[in-house]
A and B are shown apart, each in its own frame.
Chain A
Amino acid sequence: MRFSDFIIPCIIGAVLIFGLIKDVDVFNEFIEGAKENLKTGISILPAIIALMTAVGMFKASGAFDILSYAVSPLASFFHFPAECIPLALVRPISGSGALAVYESILNSTHPDSFAGRVASVMLGSTETTFYTIAVYFGSTKIKKIRHTLFCALMADLTGFIISAVTICFFF
């Protein structure tokens, strides 16, 4: 059993105890809250289908192999480990894809090697940018996301570069 296994049940338990003390109709309020989110959920489904289809086709086409070959000169300039380039490309687009690439890096190197550590920090400190943007804005009527994607991708890029820098510095 891990520590993180305790967090969710304890939070839910604490909320219910607090609710009962404050004399809240916990069952009916739960139903109301669930109902609201059910409606929201339905509204984001088309965005999820659209994005996952595009990402799935992109991954299947072998585009990542070609792209990682194309950016490798830039990466070696920054002393960024070559093994981690595919991870940097997949990470913003697909969460499950990034996990699969991460596992293959751990298999081919060691988790305590330079590339293994950089990959761990990259995965641990970033999010699936495209998915988050699609789901968050997909639930609204927004069509123009303005500079959201640019800022988010710059944050990811910073994260990737800094992960190699900090590992160099600490180990």
Chain B
Amino acid sequence: MMKWVFGIMIILSVIFGISTGRMDKVSNAALEEGAKAIELFLYLLGGMCVWGGIMRIADKSGLTGKLSSLFKPIAKLIFKNLDFNGKAFKAISMNVAANLLGLGNAATPLGIEAMHELEKEDRTKDSASDNMIVFTVLNTASITLIPTTVASLRLKHGSLQPFDILPCVWITSLLSVGIGLILALVLNKIRRKK
């Protein structure tokens, strides 16, 4: 499906670029975004290495095992046929913990690791496994407890109570994650992998 997303976005930007007369900007973007992507990547890679290292220490000392046993009861509801003592579940637990704390930069490397382990455990070929879908949807919807970036921007722009939106954020993110997960679980059941 990513081939359609990628293709359609570029084709549309050429069509829109011609019709809005902004081809100069589209052309610049085509040439420069690759370099920007490398910049972002270096930043991300540094974080990935640091968290990979910290994770490994936490793993060897038995810390991640303890944390993942806390998540087990909830995880059993949404992940089917997952090895709850395996590496994939450990990485999933750490990713969820990082998301809850609002540490997006730490959550991404842990999430990538979880996908790698899921790929090994579910022995996927070229099609995503049920657990991979559930896990990715969990991350794209992301449960947030404290939206720190939003609060600091609100404060900067003169909000009297930057945190007064918290209950709305909680309800909204809970419902959106809920809908995403329910849809994923239902579709997993209906559209059995051949």
Q: Measuring CB to CB, which residues of chain A are less than 8 angstroms from any residue of chain B?
A: 2, 4, 7-8, 11-12, 15-16, 18-19, 21-22, 24, 26, 29-38, 40-41, 44-45, 48-63, 65-66, 92, 99, 102-103, 106-107, 110-112, 116-117, 120-130, 132-137, 139-152, 154-156, 158-159, 162-163, 166-167, 170
Q: Given known contacts A30-B57, A124-B147, A155-B179, is B136 in contact with A137 (CB within 8 Å)?
A: yes
Check A144/B29 contact, CB under 8 A, given A30-B56, A111-B157: no
A residues near B169, Cβ cutoff 8 Å: 120-121, 124-125
B52 contacts A66, CB within 8 Å?
Answer: no
Q: Which residues of A contact B139 (CB under 8 A)?
A: 127, 132, 136
| Given A151-B187, A156-B140: 6 more A-B contacts, CB < 8 Å | A26-B57, A37-B113, A52-B34, A116-B157, A148-B133, A167-B168
Contacting residue for A29 out of B57, B141, B159, B187, CB 8 A? B57
Q: Are A61 and B25 in contact (CB under 8 A)?
A: yes
Give the residue of A19, A102, A107 whose beta carbon is less than 8 angstroms from that of B57: A19
**Which chain B residue has the least Cβ–Cβ distance from A38?**
B49
Residue B51 at the A interface, CB < 8 A? yes
Query: Is B10 part of the contact surface with A, judged by Cβ < 8 Å?
Result: yes
Asked if B49 and A56 make an inter-chain contact with CB atoms under 8 angstroms apart, the answer reads: no
Tell me the residues in window 12-41 of chain B with beta carbons closer than 8 Å to chain A beta carbons: 12-17, 20, 22, 25-26, 28-30, 32-34, 36-38, 40-41
Interface centre among B50, B57, B102, B150 (most CB of A within 10 A): B57
A106 touching B41 in the complex, CB below 8 Å, given contacts A53-B34, A62-B17: no
Q: How far is the CB of A48 from chain B (nearest CB, A)?
A: 5
A151 to B1, CA, bound (A): 13
Is the beta-carbon distance between A57 and B33 smaller than 8 angstroms? yes
Question: Can you give 25 A-B contacts (C-beta < 8 A)?
Answer: A24-B61, A34-B49, A36-B52, A37-B51, A37-B112, A38-B49, A50-B6, A54-B9, A55-B9, A60-B28, A61-B16, A107-B157, A110-B158, A125-B176, A128-B140, A130-B5, A145-B2, A151-B137, A152-B137, A155-B137, A155-B176, A156-B176, A158-B179, A159-B173, A167-B168
Q: Once the chains bind, are A170 and B168 in contact (CB under 8 Å)? A: yes
The verdict on A34 contacting B53 (CB below 8 Å), with A60-B22, A123-B150 known, is yes
List the A side residues contacting B165 at CB < 8 Å.
117, 120-121, 124, 167
Rounded to whole Å, the gap between the CB of A99 and the closest CB of chain B is: 8
For A62, give its contact among B2, B16, B172 (CB under 8 Å): B16
Chain A residues closer than 8 Å to B171, beta-carbon distance: 162, 166
